[in-house]
A and B are shown apart, each in its own frame.
Chain A
Amino acid sequence: MSLASQLVNLLAALLLLIAFAMLSQRRILTLIHLFAWQGAALAASTFIVAYSTGQDHLYFSAVLTVVLKVILIPWVLHRLIDSLNVKWDVETLINIPTTMLLGIGLAIFAFALAEPISQMADTLTRSTLGIALASVLLSFLMMIVRRKAVPQVIGFLAMENGLFLAATSATYGMPLVVELGVALDVLVGTFIFGIFFFHIREQFDSLDIRHMEKLKED
Chain B
Amino acid sequence: MDNAPGFAFQILQSVFVVLAAPLVMGWVNQCRARLQNRSAPSLWLPYYTLAKLFHKDAVIARDASPLFRITPYILFGCMWLAAGIVPVLATGLPFAPAADVIALVGVFALARVFAALAAMDIGTSFGGLGARREMLIGFLAEPAMLMTMFTAAFISGSTQLTTIVDTLAHREFAIYPSLAFAALAFLMVLLAENARIPIDNPATHLELTMIHEAMILEYSARHLALIEWAVAIKLFAYMTIGFALFVPWGIAEAGNWAALPLAFAALAFKLAVAGAGLALIEAVLAKMRLLLAPEFLSTAFLLAVLGMLIHFLVSG
Interface residues, chain A, with chain B CB atoms under 8 Å away = 1, 3, 6-7, 9-10, 12-14, 16-17, 20, 24, 96-97, 100-101, 103-104, 107-108, 111, 114-115, 119, 127, 130-131
Return chain A residues, CB-CB under 8 Å to B305: 104
Q: A79 → chain B, closest Cβ, in Å? A: 31
Q: Which one of A7, A17, A20, A127 has the greatest number of beta carbons of chain B within 10 Å?
A: A17
Given A100-B299, A104-B305, A107-B306 in contact, is the A131-B313 Cβ separation under 8 Å?
Answer: yes
Return chain B residues, CB-CB under 8 Å to A7: 175
Return chain B residues, CB-CB under 8 Å to A131: 310, 313
Return chain A residues, CB-CB under 8 Å to B299: 24, 100
Interface string of B48-75 (1 = CB under 8 A from A): 0000000000000000000000000000
Minimal Cβ-Cβ distance residue in B for A23: B302
Return chain B residues, CB-CB under 8 Å to A114: 313
Cβ A20 vs Cβ B306 within 8 A? yes
Partner of B306 from A6, A9, A17, A24 at Cβ < 8 Å: A17
Give Cα A14–Cα B180 distance, bound, in whole angstroms. 10
Give Cα A24–Cα B303 distance, bound, in whole angstroms. 13
Minimal Cβ-Cβ distance residue in B for A129: B313
Cβ A1 vs Cβ B310 within 8 A? no
Give Cα A115–Cα B316 distance, bound, in whole angstroms. 8
Cβ B177 vs Cβ A103 within 8 A? no
Minimal Cβ-Cβ distance residue in A for B175: A6
Given A9-B314, A97-B298, A104-B302 in contact, is the A111-B309 Cβ separation under 8 Å?
Answer: yes
Given A1-B174, A6-B174, A100-B302 in contact, is the A107-B309 Cβ separation under 8 Å?
Answer: yes
B residues 18-57 touching A (CB-CB < 8 Å): none
Q: Number of contacts between A and B (CB, 8 Å)?
A: 58
Cβ A108 vs Cβ B175 within 8 A? no
Cβ B310 vs Cβ A96 within 8 A? no
Partner of A96 from B175, B180, B295, B312 at Cβ < 8 Å: B295
Partner of B181 from A17, A24, A119, A130 at Cβ < 8 Å: A17
Given A96-B295, A97-B298, A100-B302 in contact, is the A9-B174 Cβ separation under 8 Å?
Answer: no
B242 within 8 Å of A (CB atoms):
no
Partner of B177 from A10, A96, A119, A130 at Cβ < 8 Å: A10
Minimal Cβ-Cβ distance residue in A for B316: A115
Q: Which one of A13, A119, A130 has the greatest number of beta carbons of chain B within 10 Å?
A: A13
Cβ A20 vs Cβ B302 within 8 A? yes
B294 within 8 Å of A (CB atoms):
yes
Minimal Cβ-Cβ distance residue in B for A21: B299
Interface CB pairs A-B, < 8 A, 26: A6-B174, A7-B175, A9-B177, A9-B310, A10-B175, A10-B177, A10-B180, A12-B177, A13-B310, A14-B177, A17-B181, A17-B303, A20-B306, A96-B295, A97-B298, A101-B298, A104-B302, A104-B306, A107-B306, A111-B312, A115-B316, A119-B316, A127-B316, A130-B313, A131-B310, A131-B313
Return chain B residues, CB-CB under 8 Å to A107: 306, 309
Partner of A9 from B175, B302, B303, B309 at Cβ < 8 Å: B175
B residues 172-190 touching A (CB-CB < 8 Å): 174-175, 177-178, 180-181
